[in-house]
Amino acid sequence: MKKALEGVRVVDMTHVQAGPVCTQLLAWMGADVIKIEQPGRGDVTRTQLRDLPDVDSLYFTMLNGNKRSVTLNMKSDEGKEVFSELLRCSDIVVENFGPGVMDRMGYTWERIHEINPRIIFASLKGFGPGALQNAKAYENIAQATGGAMSTTGFEDGPPVVTGAQIGDSGNAVHLFGAICAALYQRTHTGRGQRVQISMRAGILNLCRVKLRDQQRLEHGTLAEYPNEEFGDFVPRAGNASGGGQPGWAVRCKPTTEKGANAWLYVVIQPPVWEPLMRKIGRDDLADDPEYSTPEGRLPHLTEIFDVIEEWTLTRTKWEAFGELNAINVPCGPVLSTKDLIEDEGLRAEGMIVDVDHPERGKYSTVGCPFTLSDSPVEVKRSPLLGEHTQEILRDLLDRPDGELERLTAAGAV
Ligand code: CAO
C-alpha cells in the first residue's frame, strides 16, 4: 500500500528534539527523509544521555526512526555542492539551528528558492521578532517565555515546567501540520514556500485558554480557579481543570510503599453530580439544594474534592477509576512512566513499539500518535551515523564509484 507522503523527499537538517520529531512524523507518513549530519559527530543527541557505552542513545533512536543518515560537512565547498544537489531533487528542507546558522552556511531562503523554486523551506526557531529574536532556545526556555511556566504549579510555589515536551515535540507537530499544508498548496501553485515557527508561538498556541482567562480577569475573578486572591495576571491553579467543568487530582490508596502516583483525576460533569455523591455515600450533598447547580458548587470546590478524596483513599486508583467510570464520571488514573511502558493497550494501539537496532539490540519507542486508514505506519529503527552516505551519493546523486572515498579524504563527508 502506498503511504500518504510516498514520493516526497525531505532534506533533514534538524537536530536535538523539536526538528527531528517533525521529520520523523514525515518519515512515518512515507516521505524519504535524509538526515544531514556533521561528519564524525552527528546529531548531538547521539551521544547525550547514553544508557549504553558507544551506542546511539535512546534520545537519538526514539526521535530519528525511519530516516536515512548522510554525513556532510556544511563548512566545506564540496559538502555544500552535495547539499545543493540534494536540494535540487527534494521537496522539503527542514532545519532547527540557532538564529542565523543557515544564512552563515550560505543558504538563505532566497538562495534555496533559487536553487529549487518548488522546495518548501521550514525552520523552527526559539522566537519570532522582538526582544528575544536572536536567542537560542531549549524546551524549558520556550515554556518559560510562552506562558506555560507562569501558569503551571501551585499558587504558593515557584513556576514549574511540564514533563510533556510541549516546546519541542509539541512544536514538531505544529511544524508537521504547516509543512503538509505548504505541500498541498504546492499542488496548485507549483511553488515552494517558506514555513516558519517559533517555539514560543507554539507554546502560546497551547496556552490559548490562559490568554482567554487573562482577558476574563478584566471582568472579575475566575470563580472556577481554586485561588482566593487574584492580581492582574492569571495565577497558577494547581490541578484545576482550566475548562468549564471543575476537576482536581485526588489521592488514592497506595499500592507500593512509596505510594507514588496513587492519584485519580476526577471531573465533576453536571449530570454526574448526583450519582457521584450517592456512590461515595454522600446522599446529603446530592440532595442539598445549595450544591445542586454548577454555580452553587463553585465556592465549595475544595471541600467537595476533599469529600471525594476521603472515598478514593479507600481504593486504589484503578479500583476508584473502575467504580466511577461505571457510573459515567469522567476520571483517569495518574499513570507513571512504568505504568505506560507496560500498558498492553498502548502496545495494541501502536503507541509503544519495540524496534531492533544493530548496535543496541531491542528498544522500545513511542509510535505515531495518529492513524490514517490508507497510510499505515511501520516504525523502523534510526540510522547509524552516515549509514546511507554511499547509497545517496551513488543512487540518488549519480556520483561515480570512489566518490565516498574522495569526499571523505577531502573532509566533506
Ligand atoms: N557541517 C558543518 N557544520 C555544521 C553542520 C554540518 N553538517 N551542522 C551544523 N553545523 C554547525 C553550524 O554551522 C553551526 O555553526 P556556526 O555557529 O559556526 O554557524 C553549529 O553547527 C550549530 O549551531 P546551533 O546554534 O544550531 O547549535 P548549538 O548547539 O549552539 O545550539 C540550539 C543548539 C538547540 C540551542 C539551537 O540550535 C537553537 O536555538 N535552535 C532553535 C531552537 C530549537 O530547535 N530548540 C530545540 C532544542 S531541543 O530541546
Q: Whose CA is nearest to atom 9 of ligand 1?
A: 38
Task: For residue 137, give the ligand 1 atom closest to its CA.
Answer: 39
Task: For residue 136, give the ligand 1 atom closest to its CA.
Answer: 39
Predicted pLDDT of residue 296: 93
36 lines ligand 1 (CB under 6 A): yes
The predicted model scores a pTM of 0.96
Cα of 158 vs centre of ligand 1, distance in Å, is 31
Q: Which residues contact 295 (CB under 8 A, 6 or more apart)?
A: none
Best probe residue, ligand 1, of 59, 101, 138, 166 (max atoms within 8 Å of C-beta): 101
The single residue of 43, 168, 232, 398 carrying the catalytic annotation is 168
88 lines ligand 1 (CB under 6 A): no
Return the closest-CA partner of residue 96 out of 39, 138, 151: 138
125 lines ligand 1 (CB under 6 A): yes
Return the closest-CA partner of residue 227 out of 151, 296, 306: 151
Tens digits of residue pLDDT in 8-32 = 999 999 999 999 999 999 999 999 9
284 an active-site residue?
A: no
Asked whether residue 100 carries a pLDDT value surpassing 90, the answer given is yes
HEC assignment per residue over 197-260: EEHHHHHHHHCHHHHHHHHHHHHCCCCCCCCCCCCCCCCCCCCCCCCCCCEEEEECCCCCCCCC
Beta strands (DSSP E) in 96-183 are: 120-125
In this prediction, residues 310-320 reach a mean pLDDT of 98
Confidence of residue 257 (pLDDT cuts 50, 70, 90): confident
Tens digits of residue pLDDT in 379-406 = 999 999 999 999 999 999 999 999 999 9
Maximum separation of any 2 CA atoms in the chain, in Å: 85
Provide the 3-class DSSP secondary structure of residue 77: helix
Mean pLDDT computed over every residue of the chain = 96
Task: For residue 38, give the ligand 1 atom closest to its CA.
Answer: 7
Radius of gyration over every alpha carbon of the chain, rounded to an integer in angstroms: 26
135 lines ligand 1 (CB under 6 A): no
Cα of 127 vs centre of ligand 1, distance in Å, is 15
Confidence of residue 409 (pLDDT cuts 50, 70, 90): very high
Cα 278 from Cα 157, distance rounded (Å): 35
Cα 75 from Cα 52, distance rounded (Å): 31
Return the closest-CA partner of residue 247 out of 233, 276, 268: 268
Cα of 361 vs centre of ligand 1, distance in Å, is 30
> CA dihedral defined by 34, 40, 43, 48, rounded to 10 degrees?
150
Best probe residue, ligand 1, of 97, 123, 125, 161 (max atoms within 8 Å of C-beta): 97
Cα of 98 vs centre of ligand 1, distance in Å, is 5
The answer to whether 86 and 34 have CB atoms below 8 angstroms apart is yes
Cα 2 from Cα 376, distance rounded (Å): 9
Predicted pLDDT of residue 244: 80
- Secondary structure of the chain: what % helix, strand, coil (to 5)? 40, 15, 45
Cα of 17 vs centre of ligand 1, distance in Å, is 12
Q: Whose CA is nearest to atom 16 of ligand 1?
A: 101
Kindly state the cell numbers that stand for 102: 543557515
Q: Whose CA is nearest to atom 5 of ligand 1?
A: 38
Residues comprising the chain, all counted = 413
The answer to whether 68 and 33 have CB atoms below 8 angstroms apart is yes
Beta strands (DSSP E) in 110-176 are: 120-125
Tens digits of residue pLDDT in 286-309 = 999 999 999 999 999 999 999 999
Cα 72 from Cα 85, distance rounded (Å): 12
194 lines ligand 1 (CB under 6 A): no
In this prediction, residues 322-328 reach a mean pLDDT of 98
Cα of 126 vs centre of ligand 1, distance in Å, is 12
